[in-house]
Amino acid sequence: MAKHIVIVEDDPDQRSNYADAITNKGYQVSAYGNREEALAAFDHALPDLAILDIILGDEVDAGFQLCRELLARSPSLPVIFLTERINEIDKISGLRLGAWDYLPKPISLDYLAERISSLLRINEARSALSKADAASQKTIGDLALDQDALLVSWKGERIDLSGTEFRMLAKLVRAPGHAVSYEILMNATMQSLVTNNTINTHMRNIRKKFEAADKDFACIKSEYGFGYRWTKQ
């Protein structure tokens, strides 16, 4: 499906030129002449990217207001300011609001189209990265593990585990409620000479670190002669 680009520009000739140039690049385009029209449209659906003039009719900062409204609804939405207001204070204000770019008029229509394509590619890459990060994270009740960063938190508080301790914990919580054997936990250590006592020592250390953050922590249960189990608090 074609990406949806919104243009908010009060000059009808410029609005039409921008819309035609962007449509010719294969995008779906909606164009509005004032802040009220744009806001009404945003209530129905948000675009993939917005191009905003700052001065709209009698409203000298309408574009800034629209930017605030858009980013309140979708903080990662790419916004481009396209304006004749090119003094440094306005540029800084626009970028501080969260705009991705601040372009001066007049502008080459080919350059505008390429800038749109570039920002959309960046946004897609960011979204893909965010999804990958989310996939590497696992939450079990009050426990959160980030498999890639080897980070653990309990009730929002970070627990500093060694690499070995992290791998053992990850094995333990892979199937909460099910007992995990000493053999599986030994494999998780990635060490060649490991005994049951070694695993017991690691587990005591893991428990102590959780108990330091929460004195009532009791999720790690010993299964005598077999291994350990992660249970609900």
Mean pLDDT for 212-218 is 93
Which domain, by its residues, includes 68?
4-133
What pLDDT shows up at residue 135?
A: 55
Shared domain for 143 and 83, answered yes or no, is no
The whole-number average pLDDT for the span 187-202 is 85
Residue 136 clears pLDDT 70, i.e. is over it: no
**220 plus 181 within the same structural domain:** yes
Task: Give the Å distances, CA to CA, from 9 to 18, 151, 153, 166.
Answer: 9, 47, 48, 54
- Output phi, psi for 58, to 5 deg: -85, -5
Is residue 188 within 8 Å of 171, Cβ to Cβ? yes
Percent of the chain with pLDDT over 70: 95
Listed residue (49, 40, 59) closest to 81, CA to CA: 49
**Co-location of 100 and 186 in the same domain:** no
3-state secondary structure of 224: coil
Give the whole-angstrom CA distance, residue 224 versus residue 231. Answer: 15
The three-class DSSP label of residue 229 is strand
Contact between residue 225 and residue 200 where contact means Cβ atoms under 8 Å apart? no
**What sign for the dihedral angle of Cα 90, 94, 100, 106?**
negative
Decide which of 109, 133, 157 is a domain's last residue: 133
pLDDT tens for residues 99-130?
Answer: 989 999 999 999 999 999 999 998 887 676 55
* Domain end point (choices 117, 133, 149): 133
Give the separation between CA 222 and CA 180, rounded to whole angstroms.
10
In this structure, the answer to whether residues 191 and 211 fall within a common structural domain is yes
- Counting the structural domains of the chain, the total is 2
Angle at the Cα of 101 from the Cα atoms of 98 and 104, rounded to 5 degrees: 130
Which strand (E) or helix (H) includes residue 110? helix 109-135
Pull the structure tokens for residue 84. Answer: 């004749």
CA atoms within 13 A on the CB side of 220: 22
Q: What is the dihedral of CA 9, 17, 104, 110, to 10 degrees?
A: 140
Q: Quick one: 124 and 148 in the same domain?
A: no
Residue 175 above 90 pLDDT? no
- Is residue 22 within 8 A of residue 29, CB to CB? The reply is yes
Tell whether the model's pLDDT for residue 64 goes beyond 70: yes
Residues 112 and 188 in one domain: no
CATH number of the structural domain spanning residue 75: 3.40.50.2300
Residues 124 and 142 in one domain: no
pLDDT tens digit string along 95-105? Answer: 888 898 999 99
Share of the chain above pLDDT 90, in %: 69
CATH number at residue 147: 1.10.10.10
